[in-house]
Structure 1
Amino acid sequence: MTKFLLSLHVLAAIVAIGPVTVAASMFPPAARRAGTPEGGQATVALLHRVCRFYARLGLAVPLLGFATAAAMGILGDGWLIISITLTAVAAGILVAFVLPRQEELLEQVGEGQSVDRSGTVQLAMLTGIFNLLWATVTVLMIVRPGSTTGA
């Protein structure tokens, strides 16, 4: 059962978190282009929908992670606690900062306003932090400090 849960956890991470990191990273430059005569409003709207949808789907990742960790008996391991904390911080950044800022920029684009460049720079920074946190969690999941698997 542990291998099955771990497989679902990894698949959920790839399918759910991957699209959010890519779409969120593409959003700031697309928003800047959307505020020009060339447009691109549909692209910005699509990227935001992708982020929202896969963020919701991403809830499966920690749920399956907790189930896997419980089955493996490692809920108290330090690397896992750090991973859980970093995951919570990443999710908080996505929900509290990235998605709302995307919505603000999307409204500006929809109203035909020029997009606030400093807002896209700030969004790019927050998205980068979100992506870096997920990369760190991924490394911790693979390396698992203190593991006897030889990794």
Structure 2
Amino acid sequence: MTKFLLAVHVLAAIVAVGPVTVAASMFPPAARRALSAPEDPRAAETVRLLLRICRVYAVVGVVVPVFGFATARNMGVLGDTWLIVSIALTALAALVLAAFVLPRQAALAEGVTGGGTTGGTGADTARATARLAMFTGLFNLLWAAVTVLMIVRPGSTTGA
């Protein structure tokens, strides 16, 4: 049963978290392009698509920690330090996504849909997309750290 749970956990991480990290990383430059060329409907469509991918896969991504907890329970590692750190980093990544990335994406997408302006200057748009890129990078770094912890698992008996 542990192998099944672990397989579902890893597959869910790849299928759910992977698209969010990629789409979120693509969003700031796509938003800059769409806001600088409001006459290009494909640029606006791209921004809306990337936002939808991030939202949908963020919800689907809830499966990852659910199966992670089940796997950890079966493996008897719920109290291990590496797992507790991973849980904390995962919670922080979820917070960054929910509180900083998705709302900023939605605001920029609204600016694209609302006629190509966010209500500010080009400098305001540049700052908004730069901040979004920063929070997206933080989100991606947190997931990278969790991935490394899951592979290395300090103190594990895998010999790694």
Please report the TM-score for the alignment, with normalisation by the length of structure 1: 0.98
Superposition deviation, residue 142 in structure 1 = 0.3
1:148 aligns with 2:151: no
1:111-130 matched pairs, under 5 angstroms: 111-114=114-117, 116-130=125-139
Superposition deviation, residue 143 in structure 1 = 0.3
1:94 aligns with 2:94: no
**1:55 alignment partner AA:** A
**2:56 alignment partner AA:** F
Structure 1 ranges of 4+ moved more than 3 A: none
> What does residue 61 of structure 1 align with?
64
Q: CA deviation digits over 1:28-47, x for unaligned, max 9?
A: 00000001226300000000
1:16 aligns with 2:25: no
**1:67 alignment partner AA:** A
Task: Tell me the matched-pair count.
Answer: 151
Please report the TM-score for the alignment, with normalisation by the length of structure 2: 0.92
1:73 aligns with 2:82: no
1:35 partner SS = helix
Superposition deviation, residue 113 in structure 1 = 3.3
> What does residue 122 of structure 2 align with?
none
Q: Using the aligned pairs only, state the percent identity.
A: 68
1:29 aligns with 2:32: no
Which consecutive residues of structure 1, in runs of 5 or more, have no partner in the other structure? none
Indicate the RMSD between aligned Cα atoms, in angstroms. Answer: 0.9
